[in-house]
Structure 1
């Protein structure tokens, strides 16, 4: 936690985080023009933020793209604010919905996040691929069933919520999947996007990285859903407890 507070103490680093909140996936050059300092100075600030796990990066060719990683902030809120405030109100302090600018690019993720979970690689793989496990940690799903390579999640009222179709699996290390939301109802045209889970063992922990690509306009709010879902995954694997939000809270 010390590295988080150290990183947030500097106004230049807060400016960088604010910028990545508004526009995920910026390069060093994109960020440098927003600060009155040298390229080396911006790199140094980004290094502090990356060390604190407040940003994660995706390298494509010669360029490195930077993304806000809000999970460490969520964990700090859960640790100190949660006992004082109701969970939905505490989470509302961080409005983590990203706003896309321009046309989504295939070359880099639209959204990216990373977390460390105290569990085995086998346990994390099982949690990500097992239908019953998905229903246990998803922040709003009432049920989940597997249909071949599909995970079909439904709301507690049994209406269809989300279909995840696995397109490529590298056992215990990588899952590529499509993302097909149904929560808007049958009258809204379906628009798929895609995401990737990457698992990397880190001693007694696992580092889980999520990259989400090709998010259609109007679905930018999936970032908030991912924060809630992966926070629930971490809690469920480390404590065995399910974290639940009501359907109304999720829509709000």
Structure 2
């Protein structure tokens, strides 16, 4: 928590975060174009932001891309603000990543990372068992179809309509799941994209990374949904109570 306050206590670092909020996945050269910033200065400030987990990176080819990681800020809100405003809304989520399969899917459009105090088996089950997925999903009351290679998984809203359809394309047991992302809530003609879960045990916790690829214009808001899902999943595994119905 001290690292977050230190990182935010500088207008230059806040400007870098604002830049990533406007356009995620920038290189050092992109960020160097900010007014009154030298390359060395940008590197120095990015190191502080990475140490605070407010920025996460993904290396692809010769370039290193930087992404805003908003969940540590959500952690502060959950700790000090949410108890006064909406106690039922969200659980805290921290994030960090180590990415696999560099170059296979290219540069992700969105990344999110969190640490969850649970076993690798428990996290894997929560991501691959339809009954558990329904238990912690923030909007859906039912999930049909366990994620398995070539299997269809559908997320069903309380009114019976399908919110999301996914097809599992790859699975590495307990470490990686790749799926399509077909947002039925945006209409029948909404373009599909792709997402990946990466799991890495870290002592008493597991590090979960979420990557989203091939997002079409207008789908930038998916990030909020991922934050809500990650928060509810974390709460479900750590406390047994999901964060359902937070609109």
* TM-score, normalised with respect to structure 1: 0.87
Does the 8 Å contact 2:180/2:194 carry over to 1?
A: yes
Does the 8 Å contact 2:182/2:192 carry over to 1?
A: yes
What is the correspondence of 1:144-159 to structure 2 with a 5 Å cutoff? 144-146=143-145, 149-159=151-161
1:190 and 2:190 equivalent?
A: yes
Deviant stretches of 4+, over 3 Å? 87-91
Where in structure 2 are there 5+ consecutive unaligned residues? Answer: 92-104
> What corresponds to 1:163 in structure 2?
165
Write the distance in 2 (CA, Å) between the matches of 1:90 and 1:35: 36
Write the distance in 2 (CA, Å) between the matches of 1:119 and 1:40: 39
Q: Secondary structure at the match of 1:183?
A: helix
Does the 8 Å contact 2:136/2:233 carry over to 1?
A: yes
Write the distance in 2 (CA, Å) between the matches of 1:44 and 1:233: 34
Give the CA deviation at 1:164.
1.6
* TM-score, normalised with respect to structure 2: 0.89
Write the distance in 2 (CA, Å) between the matches of 1:46 and 1:60: 18
Range moving further from structure 2, 30-39 or 16-25: 30-39
Give the CA deviation at 1:30.
0.3
Does the 8 Å contact 2:89/2:243 carry over to 1?
A: no
> What corresponds to 2:106 in structure 1?
107
Does the 8 Å contact 2:177/2:196 carry over to 1?
A: yes
> What corresponds to 1:56 in structure 2?
56
Does the 8 Å contact 1:53/1:69 carry over to 2?
A: yes
Q: Secondary structure at the match of 2:186?
A: coil
Write the distance in 2 (CA, Å) between the matches of 1:205 and 1:159: 35
CA RMSD for the aligned pairs? Answer: 1.8
> What corresponds to 2:182 in structure 1?
180
1:220 and 2:220 equivalent?
A: yes
> What corresponds to 1:135 in structure 2?
134
Give the CA deviation at 1:44.
1.1
Does the 8 Å contact 1:143/1:154 carry over to 2?
A: yes
Where in structure 1 are there 5+ consecutive unaligned residues? Answer: 92-105
Aligned length: 231
